[in-house]
Structures are given as C-alpha cells and as structure tokens.
Structure 1
Amino acid sequence: MKIDLPNIQDQQRFIYEEATKEAIAQLKANLMAPEYPAQDLVDESLYSRAHLLRESEGWEAPAPEIVKAYFRHFQNYFSDYGTDAKLAVLLGITGGGNDRRIRAFKDGSKKTPYGIWRRFLVLTGRVPQEIIPVMGFMR
C-alpha cells in the first residue's frame, strides 16, 4: 500500500491558505458586530485624538482618563471581562499581576503600550484591523 502525501512546502501552503480563509471570514463577521452607545464617562474633546492613530502616523499613548473611561465602558457591556485580570488576558497580558498592569494604565503610573492599546481599539471597533501584505513566501 502506498500513501501519497504532499511535501512539507505544499502542506505549509495549504495551512496558510486555510488560515487566511478563516481570517477573511472573521473580518466579514466583524462587520456584523453589534453597536453600543458611545462612552460618556469622560469628555473626549478635552484630550488629543493621537491615541487613535497608528505608530507611523504620530500615535501617542492615551491619557489615563481615556484608558479608564474606555475600559470601564467596555467592561460595563461585556461582563465576562468585568475584572481587570480578565480584561488583561483578553488584551494578551499574561503572567502574575496582569490586573495590576491594567490598573497602572488606568491610573497613569504606566503608559499603555501601543500593541495593547491598538488591540483594544480593534476589539472595540474604534479602528480597523491592520492587514500586513505578504511580500513573498520565503523558504
């Protein structure tokens, strides 16, 4: 009995293609996410909007008041992430004390890093997800 298997490169390409199809499906599903009222915990007009930009566009870390308002607003609607520890996990912050890091972002003792903030903005539909072009398959 002979079993013909694709070579490793063909297998890797298949996996890549399937993951891309899943990503496209998720992007389409994202367009159907429910809408929620705007946050009213802080007057955003008093703050710079640079926290909504990409790094290459002049991004600045959000003011702690913005962080606190956005996080609280999110947690009010998504009770599964109602604790700082659970919100931290959602944002990719792992390890002990992850809840302390969230609190530090909210009280301003630590600036919120770009990657964590950008993920939150994408999760809340405030900015589009960035799609990075593939320049070529390097083997």
Structure 2
Amino acid sequence: MRGFFLPEARRREAIAQMEANLQAPKLPPQTEVDESTYPKTHLLREREGWEPPHTDIVGAYFRHFQASFKDYHSDGRLAALLGLSSDRRIREFKQGKRTVPYGVWRQFLVMTGRAPQDVLPVLAYMA
C-alpha cells in the first residue's frame, strides 16, 4: 500500500531512540529538598491523579538538571528544551508564580528518567 513507508521508518526511528534512552547516564539524585516530605502525585499521569508539583520540587529538579547538564545551565536553554518560548516561564515555575502545566512537567520527568515514556497503540493506519 502506498504511503506506509513513512510510518515504518518512523517506527524504526522511535524504537532506536527508546533503545538509546536505555544508555543514558545514571546521575545522583537531587539533594536540595527531602522529597519524602512531599506527596508523590507530581510523578503520576493525569488519569492516575496527577497534581502539580510543589514549588520546592520544581526548583530542586530544575536546578539539579541545570547543574548536571551545562548545555542547559540557563533558564532560556531549559525553556527551549521544554518547548517554551520564554525563560521567564522557567523562573515563574521555580518561584511558584505559575504552575507547571502537566505536559511540560511530564516531558521533563520523561527526559530525566523519573517517568516512563508513554507508547500509544496504533489502532489503524488511515492514510
């Protein structure tokens, strides 16, 4: 059938990326805050009862990430990585002036190995 080459190529690309993800370095956890004193609902999926992370968690996770990856040391670079247009958003998230949206937070959790990447079922190819 015509048009099915592209989905096959993308499937192979996705599998290769997931396999490469298994080789990501293991880094020590953040030590800025004692996570046991906060609820774990910020680690859940939306359908599982996700709640936005506490400001302390946001700041600790973001600062730990930025300290671990020099390419993302600035709020602007972290914003770009997360698909945000402004470094101001990152500062607002860290300061608790704005709540981190689920999609941005989930992407960050996946990128830092704190949450699994969702793989959705393909119900049909509708070319």
* TM-score, normalised relative to structure 2: 0.97
For residues 75-86 of structure 1, what are the structure 2 equivalents within 5 Å?
A: 75-86=66-77
**Matched AA of 2:91:** R
Unaligned runs of 5+ in 1: 1-8
**Matched AA of 2:112:** T
- Structure 2 counterpart of 1:114: 102
Runs of 4+ deviating beyond 2 Å: none
Query: Larger relative CO (CA 8 A, sep 6+): 1 or 2?
Result: 2
- Structure 2 counterpart of 1:126: 114
Mapped to 2, the partners of 1:106 and 1:74 lie a distance apart of: 13
- Structure 2 counterpart of 1:39: 30
- Structure 1 counterpart of 2:79: 88
**Matched AA of 2:101:** P
Residues 1:25 and 2:13 are matched in the alignment:
no
Q: How far apart are 1:138 and its partner, in Å?
A: 2.0
* TM-score, normalised relative to structure 1: 0.89
Query: How many aligned positions are there?
Result: 127
**% identity of equivalent residues:** 56
Q: How far apart are 1:110 and its partner, in Å?
A: 0.6
Mapped to 2, the partners of 1:18 and 1:83 lie a distance apart of: 35
Q: Which structure is larger by alpha-carbon Rg, 1 or 2?
A: 1
